[in-house]
Amino acid sequence: MRPASTSLKKSVKSVSPADTQPTSRTESAGLAPDGLIKEDKLGLDTIYVQAKRWQNLVHRPEVQKFAGALQGKRSRKGVFITTSAFSEGAIEYAAAIESRIVLIDGEQLALLMIDHGVGVATQKVYEVKRVDLDYFSEEV
């Protein structure tokens, strides 16, 4: 079975037109981001990604740790993905700080995965037919 953070990062890579790379767990003393997205070829602006498979709510302290890791990387943008949901406090905190942190919960993640064909399989394909008007215009 594939680790959750690997699957989640693959989902982010599929929706991002920019260069997406994993990061090393030893890169920072605090909470190490799982990956980064370079918004341009020179890497002048980066978005750090934190992906977690959780069953319980993600609370404010986890988002604060991620915000601190962003500060340590001199980054102002991040995406925090979870398979569960975020507490009201976590959502309010992310909205209030100067750094831009996008929170993606399990429901949003599932919709993104479906939209971009990541981690999903086609179950049924429906055929839609229309009347071919040229069929009736031919002479016998």
Closest CA to 13 of 119, 107, 101: 119
Q: What is the mean pLDDT of each run of 10 residues along the chain (140 residues)?
A: 52 54 46 72 84 92 94 90 96 95 95 89 92 78
The Cα angle at residue 16 between residues 14 and 21, in degrees rounded to 5: 85
Q: Identify the residue whose tokens are 């498979």.
A: 53
> What pLDDT score was predicted for residue 8?
54
Q: Scanning the structure block, which residue is given the tokens 């949003």?
A: 108
pLDDT for 57: 95
The answer to whether 49 touches 37, Cβ cutoff 8 Å, is: yes
130 vs 117: CA distance, rounded Å: 28
- Please report the pLDDT score of residue 26 as a whole number: 43
pLDDT of residue 126: 93
d(CA 82, CA 5): 9
**Residue 127 belongs to a domain with what CATH number?**
3.40.1350.10
- pLDDT score at 27: 44
Task: Give the chain's domain count.
Answer: 1
Residue span of the structural domain in which 127 resides: 4-137
